Amino acid sequence: MLDRYKKRKPRDPTIREQFNNYRFIDYKEDVIDLIGRVTAVSLATMQIIAQMSAQ
């Protein structure tokens, strides 16, 4: 999940010089929200699996 927001260097030098303005800080809130959502889904999945195996 965090790999998606990792900084990457474009191979083309023209693009790298003119358009490489990615900053992680701009996406920090989105990443924190996403981590919370993934955690909630993981916990709910674990609860469902536990209920299914109990039956």
pTM of the model: 0.61
In the chain, DSSP assigns E strands to none
Across residues 11-18, what is the average pLDDT? 76
Task: Select the more confidently predicted residue: 50 or 28.
Answer: 50
Render the burial of 17-52: b for 16+ CB within 10 Å, e for the rest: eeeeeeeeeeeeeeeeeeeeeeeeeeeeeeeeeeee
| pLDDT of 45 higher than 90 | yes
pLDDT band at 20 (very low <50, low <70, confident <90, very high): low
Task: Select the more confidently predicted residue: 31 or 9.
Answer: 31
Q: How many CB atoms lie within 10 A of CB 10?
A: 13
Task: Select the more confidently predicted residue: 33 or 54.
Answer: 33
| C-alpha to C-alpha distances, 7 to 20, 35, 48, nearest whole angstrom | 10, 18, 36
